Chain A
C-alpha cells in the first residue's frame, strides 16, 4: 500500500538527532531513518529495544535442557556403556558438549531470527529511499497522520537541507 510520506533530508547526523528528539517530544510518527552509517545515539533516540537478547536466553535455556536430555538418553537409557570406570551418568564430560551445543544453536537461531525480522535473505534488492542514503545524506521518513505543515516546520527548524513528499510502500518501512 503506497502512501504519501514526508521526507526530511539531512547532511549531519547531529542535526538529524536533534530533529528526532524534537519530533519525539511532539509524539509525531517517525516511520524510518536511512543513513550511510550507524550511530548508537540514533538507535537510543529511536528507543527501539531489541528483543533478540531475550530470545537468545530462552533458546539457550531450551538448548541446555534439550541437550542434557539427549545426552542422558544416549548414555544411560539407550546405550549404557561403561568406560574407564566412570558411572553411567556423570556430569563432567557433558559440560563441554552442553556448552558448545548451546553456543551453536543460540548463535544460529539468533542470526536466523534477526534475518527474519529485518526480512533479509540472499539476493534481496535493497530498499532505499534515495541512492545518496548510502553516500552522505540522512533521510528521515514521516507519515502524514499529523498536521503535515507542522511536521515540515519542525524538520525545517532542525536544519534539514530539503523536504520532499513522496509515495512510499508502507510495508518496506520499519515504523518506530
Chain B
C-alpha cells in the first residue's frame, strides 16, 4: 500500500498546453474587450474556488459523519483544496477590474442610485477587498492545518491525527457554511446590485459539494484506470454515484425554490433579475441549466446499476463540469456585460484555468501518500460493500 502518485509527463504537458491557451485568451481578451475578460476572470475564479471549497466540504463531511467508506480516496478531495491559495491570488487581482463587473463599484454611482447608496456601508471597494482577504485567510489556514494533520498521519500514525482532523473538520464546516455563502453573495449576487436572494449563499455553498464530487469521481476513475486505488470496488462507485444523485435533487430543489418565490411575488426589483434570463435572450441557457444540472443526472442516476457504470459515471461528471460553468455564466454575465457572447475568450480562459487546476491538484496529490495508510478507517473502507 506504499503508493505515491507521480503525475505523468502527459498530464504535465496537457496542463502546460492548456495554460498557454489560457494566457493567449487572456491577452487577446484584454486587448479586445476588457469588461468581458474581467467577467470571465470572475466566472473562472468562482468556478475553481467552488470546486476547491466543495471538495474540502466533502472531506470534512466524511470526518464529522464518521464515514468510513471514503477513507480510501480521502487524499483526492484534500488535493483539490490546494487550489485555494492560487484562487486567492487570482481573486485579489480582480481588484483592478471591479468597476467593469460590479455596478456598485463604479465611481459616482452612489449619487445617482439611491438603492446602491443605501447599501454603500457594506458594498464599497475597501470593505469588499478586506472581506475577500479575510475569507481566504480563514479557508487557506484551515486547509493548511488539515493537510498538515494528513502529513502527520502518514508519517507518525496513531489516533491523534484522526481526532484532530475531525475537530478541524467541524471548524471548517462552520466556517465554510457561513463565509463561503457570504463570499458567493459578495462576489456573484452583488453583480445585480438591486437584486437579492436570501437563499443565494446557501445554494452556492451546498451546490459546491455537488460539482466537487463530479471532479473527485473523474480523478478517482482516471487514477484507477492507471492502476492506482486497486481496492476501489463497485460499492465505492455506487456510493459516489448516489452522492451525485442526491445532490442533483438538492440542486433542483434549491434552484426552483429561488425561482418560484420570485416568480410568484412579482416584486419589480426581484423579477428584474429573472426577466432577461427567463424571458429574454438568455432563455435557452436558463432551461439548459436546469436540464444539465438536474434532469439529466437525476434520470440517468436513478438506477444504481446504471449510475455506477464505469461509462455513465464519468459522462455525467463531465456534463456537470459544463453545468457549473453554464450556471455561473448565467449568474454573472447578464448583470456584468449584459450581452450574450460566447467565443474564444470564454473557452480559452476556462481551458487555461483548467490547466492550472490540473497542474496544482496533481502536484498536491503527489505530495502525499495516495492511500492514507495510517488512517484508522482504511481497513473498513477497503472492505466496503453493500
Residues of A within 8 A of B (CB): 40, 57, 84-85, 92-93, 95-96
Question: Is there contact, CB below 8 Å, between B266 and A85?
Answer: yes
B263 near A92: Cβ-Cβ < 8 Å: yes
Q: Which of chain B's residues have a CB closer than 8 A to the CB of A95?
A: 256, 260
Cα–Cα distance between A34 and B235 once the two chains are bound (Å): 26
Known: A84-B266, A85-B266. A93 touches B386 (CB 8 A): no
- Return chain B residues, CB-CB under 8 Å to A93: 260, 264
Interface of B is mostly: helix
State the interface size on chain B (CB cutoff 8 A).
Answer: 9
Q: How far is the CB of B180 from chain A (nearest CB, A)?
A: 28
* CB-defined contacts of B30 to chain A, threshold 8 Å: none
Give the interface SS of chain A, mostly helix, strand, loop or mixed: helix
Known contacts A95-B260, A96-B260, then 14 further A-B pairs from the complex at CB < 8 Å, ordered by chain A residue: A40-B385, A40-B386, A57-B302, A84-B264, A84-B266, A85-B266, A92-B256, A92-B259, A92-B260, A92-B263, A92-B264, A93-B260, A93-B264, A95-B256
Nearest-Cβ distance from residue B166 to partner chain A, whole angstroms: 28
Residues on B with C-beta less than 8 A from A85 are 266
Distance A57 CA – B302 CA, assembled complex (angstroms): 10
Closest to A83 in B: B264
Q: CA of A92 to CA of B290 in the docked complex: distance in angstroms? A: 13
B133 to chain A, nearest CB (A): 40
B-side residues, CB < 8 A to A, are 256, 259-260, 263-264, 266, 302, 385-386
CB distance from B270 to the nearest CB of A (A): 14
Residues of A within 8 A of B256 (CB): 92, 95
Q: Cβ of B259: which chain A residues have Cβ within 8 Å of it? A: 92
Which 7 pairs of residues, A with B, have the shortest CB-CB distance? A92-B263, A92-B260, A84-B266, A40-B386, A95-B256, A93-B264, A96-B260
Q: List 16 A-B contacts (CB under 8 A).
A: A40-B385, A40-B386, A57-B302, A84-B264, A84-B266, A85-B266, A92-B256, A92-B259, A92-B260, A92-B263, A92-B264, A93-B260, A93-B264, A95-B256, A95-B260, A96-B260
A96: which B residues are within 8 A, CB to CB?
A: 260
Q: Residue of B at shortest CB range from A85?
A: B266
- Residue in chain A with minimal CB distance to B253: A99
Complex Cα spacing A80 to B258, Å:
27
CB proximity of A123 to chain B, nearest CB, Å: 34
**In the bound complex, CA of A96 to CA of B253 (Å):** 10
How far in angstroms is the closest Cβ of chain A from B99? 36
Which chain A residues lie closer than 8 Å to B263 at the CB level? 92
Docked pose: A96 CA to B259 CA in angstroms:
12
Which residues of chain B come closer than 8 Å to A40, judged between CB atoms?
385-386
Residues of B within 8 A of A92 (CB): 256, 259-260, 263-264
CA distance A92 to B263 in the complex (A): 8
Q: How far is the CB of B294 from chain A (nearest CB, A)?
A: 12
B260: chain A residues within 8 A (beta carbon): 92-93, 95-96
Q: How far is the CB of B356 from chain A (nearest CB, A)?
A: 39
CB distance from B129 to the nearest CB of A (A): 39
Query: Please, how many angstroms separate the alpha-carbon atoms of A84 and B265 in the complex?
Result: 9
CA distance A16 to B259 in the complex (A): 55
